Chain A
Amino acid sequence: MGEILRQNLLSPIALSFALGIVAKLVRSEFQLPKDMYTALSIYLLFALGLKGGVELAHSSMAQIAAPAGVTLLLGCITPLTTYVVLRRLGRFSESDSAGIAAHYGSVSAVTYIAALAFTKGMGAEPEGFMPTLLTLLESPGIHIALAIGAMKTAAPDRNMKHVLHEVLTARTMVLLVGGLLVGFLMGEKNWQAIEPFYDSKGPVFKGALTLFILEMGIVAGSRLGDLKKVGPFLLGFGMVMPLLHGALGAWLGHVAGLSVGGCTVLATMAASASYIAAPPAVRVTLPEANPTYYLTSSLAITFPFNILIGIPVYFQISRWLHG
């Protein structure tokens, strides 16, 4: 375990991320230009979708059915466990609990990509249809959590239809689902022509990822100051909850017949917290929920935790489950 952790901490992803945090800690004004950040995220997501679509064309329904089923199950369980733990143990308000649950019920695509890179580096290639699972996990958690929030707090004008539209048409969903379709339709031969540019094992993708992660380090670093404001419970929650959801994800992945790599990636998805799609959706529907809580826990605690420590742990759990 120690060796795996060390290897992960010395990976370009973890080091670039750490550099981003350090840059923020020493108050460097350096950051990626906003448009470049946007362009990189579009590239990474589209690449994931395309490759996933090409792989999807090779997979049979029978192969995907069980993993897709457990993924949807995870999408329903994680917002509920998050809500109950925060409400009962953490004594958070209903809105705050539901707001945070929306984040932990959804998935962070960057953390997913990091898990993908990690498992490939470990020689445990995950199944090709993982991007399909990623799209399945993106939205249910947010809606379940927001529905809980809407039921518990009787405020007027909860525009759920508006939120559904927002979440489903957000950049992440359009690029992932659109990429899956394009990849699925174009077939292997066409894929080969663009593969060097988009392949997640190729130099372009890996290089772009380090730049993107560097910026994510800066974003996470800029929230570290808020750690004082959120209190010890949320601090512990941000690290323990991913471990529990990760273990559950690994186990369900194992039950559904995923490989070690597939289990690790599914575990990481379950453990990760969204910080792109969820915040605006929560802000609009649950305005009483304090943004400092949900943004700090997902972005400044859980995200770094997963990148630096979580992913190797989920890998170890998955290996252990596979004997």
Chain B
Amino acid sequence: MRVPLKLVTIVAEPVLEEQLTNLLRRLGARGFTVTESRGEGSRGMRASEVPGQGVRIESVVSEAVADRILEQVARQYFTNYAVIAFVSEVEVVRGEKYV
């Protein structure tokens, strides 16, 4: 009953929220969840310098979509923005809902 899928998580500066969620939709994600977040990373507090909290965007997708998302996020945003992205294994019911 449980289907293995991928959970893509992107943590980014708040100004990127709209661009990133558009990107997810365009690359085939059927839905996503955005939460406000706080934190610090290799760029120090630089990420949160422009006022507003960080965003954590999560989406359950197929492996192919997950690969596309990671590739695009890396290409477009890793150089200039405080962004991390990773993929983890998840198991869901109603697997057809996500792909």
A and B associate in one complex: yes
Q: Which residues of A are interface residues toward B (Cβ below 8 A)? A: 157, 159, 279-280, 283-284, 287-288, 291-292, 295
A284 to B: closest C-beta gap in Å? 5
Question: Does residue B39 face the partner (Cβ distance < 8 Å to A)?
Answer: no
Q: Are A295 and B50 in contact (CB under 8 A)?
A: yes
List residues of B whose CB falls within 8 A of some A CB: 13-16, 19, 46, 49-52, 76, 79-81
- Sample (24) of A-B pairs whose CB atoms are under 8 Å apart: A157-B76, A159-B19, A279-B50, A279-B51, A280-B14, A280-B15, A280-B50, A280-B52, A283-B13, A283-B15, A283-B50, A284-B15, A284-B16, A284-B19, A287-B79, A287-B80, A287-B81, A288-B80, A291-B46, A291-B49, A291-B50, A292-B46, A292-B49, A295-B49
Beyond known contacts A280-B14, A295-B49, A295-B50: 8 more, CB 8 A cutoff: A159-B19, A280-B52, A283-B50, A284-B19, A287-B79, A287-B80, A291-B49, A292-B46
**How many Å lie between the Cα of A288 and that of B13 in the bound state?**
14
- In the complex, A130→B97 CA distance in Å? 55
Cβ of B61 to closest chain A Cβ, rounded Å: 23
- Determine chain B's interface SS by DSSP, over half rule: loop
Residues on the A chain within 8 Å of B19, using CB: 159, 284
Neighbouring B residues of A283 by C-beta, 8 Å? 13, 15, 50
Q: Give the distance in Å from the alpha carbon of A98 to the alpha carbon of B45 in the complex.
A: 23
Give complex CA distance A291, B47 in Å: 9
- Measured CB to CB, the nearest residue on chain A to B48 is A291
- List of B residues within 8 angstroms of A288 by Cβ: 80
Q: Within 8 Å CB of B76, what residues of A?
A: 157
B92: min CB distance to chain A, Å: 33
In chain A, what residue has the closest Cβ to B52? A280
Give A288 to B51 CA distance when docked, in angstroms: 18
Chain A residues lying within 8 Å of B80, measured Cβ to Cβ, are 287-288
Chain A residues with Cβ under 8 A from B49's Cβ?
A: 291-292, 295
Residues of A within 8 A of B15 (CB): 280, 283-284
The interface residues of chain B lying within 8 Å CB-to-CB of A287 are 79-81
Bound together, the chains give a CA A292 to CA B46 distance in angstroms of 8
Residues of B within 8 A of A295 (CB): 49-50
Closest 10 CB pairs of A and B: A287-B80, A291-B49, A279-B50, A283-B15, A283-B50, A280-B15, A284-B15, A291-B50, A288-B80, A295-B49
Write the nearest CB–CB distance from A116 to chain B, whole angstroms. 24
**Who on chain B is nearest to A226 by CB?**
B49
Q: How far is the CB of B4 from chain A (nearest CB, A)?
A: 34
Among residues of B, the one whose C-beta sits closest to the C-beta of A34 is: B53
- Give the distance in Å from the alpha carbon of A157 to the alpha carbon of B76 in the complex: 9
A159 to B51, CA, bound (A): 20
Residues of B within 8 A of A279 (CB): 50-51
A291 contacts across to B, CB distance below 8 A: 46, 49-50
Give the chain A neighbours of B52 by CB distance below 8 A.
Answer: 280
Separation of A280 and B51 alpha carbons in the complex (Å)? 8
In the assembled complex, the CB of A272 is this many whole angstroms from the nearest CB of chain B, namely 17
Q: B73 to chain A: closest CB distance in Å?
A: 13
| Most B C-beta atoms less than 10 A away, residue of A159, A279, A280, A283 | A283
